[in-house]
């Protein structure tokens, strides 16, 4: 008996399924769906249709990444993630520049959740610095956090 599920899902159907879970850039969809393309140009045509209908939108992808990741990651890591999605370099630059103003505050919040108190010795200072840098926060933001520049905001 038929279960109502088609034996072969179309490329457009696969793309819509991926887009239903989260925003994907066109480049991401091309990478993920290339193995399912049966005739040359079929994938490009399906993605063109989805892009024309607004299902694929690079600005929404960038906004989604910022919304999901900005509270935990610094500018460098977010830039890397946006670039890996194959977004337009100008859009990546604009998005990253808009995050720079809040980087020190976001670094402080990440540091506060993880450590909560300033380092007492060089070893713990190094550990805290490495942690924040590995999260993609810049040296200026890390130094500001570890210099205790947010003490007045904690009260």
- CATH number of the domain residue 133 falls in: 1.10.10
- Domain assignment of residue 2, yes or no: no
- Domain assignment of residue 4, yes or no: no
Q: In this predicted model, what pLDDT tens digit does every residue of 102-146 receive, in sequence order?
A: 999 999 999 999 999 999 999 999 999 999 999 999 999 999 999
- Domain assignment of residue 3, yes or no: no
**pTM: predicted TM-score of the whole model, two decimal places:** 0.83
Domain that holds residue 39: 10-56
pLDDT at residue 151 in the model: 53
Q: Which residues contact 16 (CB under 8 A, 6 or more apart)?
A: 50, 55
């Amino acid at each position: 008996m038929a279960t109502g599920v088609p034996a072969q899902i179309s490329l457009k159907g696969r793309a819509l399924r991926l887009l239903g879970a989260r925003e994907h850039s066109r480049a991401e969809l091309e990478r993920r769906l290339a193995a399912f393309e049966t005739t040359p140009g079929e994938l490009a045509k399906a993605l063109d249709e989805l892009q024309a209908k607004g299902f694929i939108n690079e600005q929404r992808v960038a906004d989604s990444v910022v919304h999901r990741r900005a509270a935990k990651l610094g500018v460098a890591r977010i830039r890397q993630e946006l670039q890996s999605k194959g977004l337009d370099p100008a859009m990546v630059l604009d998005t990253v520049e808009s995050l720079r103003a809040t980087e020190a505050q976001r670094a402080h919040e990440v540091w506060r959740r993880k450590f909560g108190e300033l380092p007492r010795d060089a070893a713990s200072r190094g550990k805290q610095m490495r942690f924040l840098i590995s999260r993609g926060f810049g040296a200026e933001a890390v130094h500001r956090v570890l210099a205790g520049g947010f003490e007045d905001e904690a009260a």
